[in-house]
Structure 1
């Protein structure tokens, strides 16, 4: 079953546009953070740390993909938001703080939904 799931995921990644991949990254980071909150409630602190690390890796990837030359002020603002989210998640990881994780989830949902809306409008404009 794991092999089939990996094959499906690989196919999905290979057939997805760069813009759609960004949306998938936001969704994955949010999923990992929601799972981390559950692990805090279950006192599974090792797994919580792994899940937060996965979300941090995704945020780092999103941050690293910013083009500050073309993106201008928007890219700079996103960089600052990503840095803020990373800092907050490090604190949440240390303090086992679900409220901080919720704060970051809220930020990621807003940015991710904006990207999803852009992707959707682009698809409608260029079918």
Structure 2
């Protein structure tokens, strides 16, 4: 039942006109999938698993959404972070150490937190604009 609610919420966000909300969902799902991938690796399941595939797919989506023309250094740095996370995930699929994935999760959590603050500011700003009309 809870999963149905989560799925319907994701669909609503995906159909919304708020790209910040969509990116927030992607960050949440990426971090969740990466965390779920780690126990699989610890259990010796190094080959591809659903959480690895999901994480790699989300990373591809995030990398593809970057606007290098207008994003400048921020877009470049985000691309590097996403690529680092991707490489670390691929290493674990071949039996590599999980510490790189853990550090990538930590960095992604910091970016997610900053993204939430940006989104909150955008929502508050548009609410303030509506009040001044």
TM-score (norm. length: structure 1): 0.84
What is residue 26 of structure 2 aligned with on the other side? 25
In the alignment of these two chains, the number of paired residues is 126
Cα deviations by residue, 1:4-36 (Å, 9 ceiling, x for unpaired): 444444234324611111011011011111111
State how 1:1-127 maps to structure 2 within 5 Å: 1=1, 4-5=4-5, 6-15=7-16, 17-45=18-46, 49-95=49-95, 97-127=97-127
Consecutive unaligned residues of structure 2, counting only runs of 5 or more, are 128-133
CA distance in 2, matches of 1:109, 1:12: 20
Describe the shift of the 1:101–1:16 C-alpha distance in structure 2 as closer, same or farther (beyond 3 A).
farther
DSSP-derived class of the 2:49 partner: helix
Contact 1:89 1:104 survives alignment (8 Å): no
Q: Computing the radius of gyration over CA atoms, which structure comes out larger, 1 or 2?
A: 2
DSSP-derived class of the 2:11 partner: helix
Deviation at 1:60, TM superposition (A): 0.9
TM-score (norm. length: structure 2): 0.80
CA distance in 2, matches of 1:93, 1:19: 31
Consecutive unaligned residues of structure 1, counting only runs of 5 or more, are none
Over the aligned positions, Cα root-mean-square deviation in angstroms equals 2.3
CA distance in 1, matches of 2:15, 2:25: 12
Richer in helix (by share) = 1
CA distance in 2, matches of 1:107, 1:3: 27
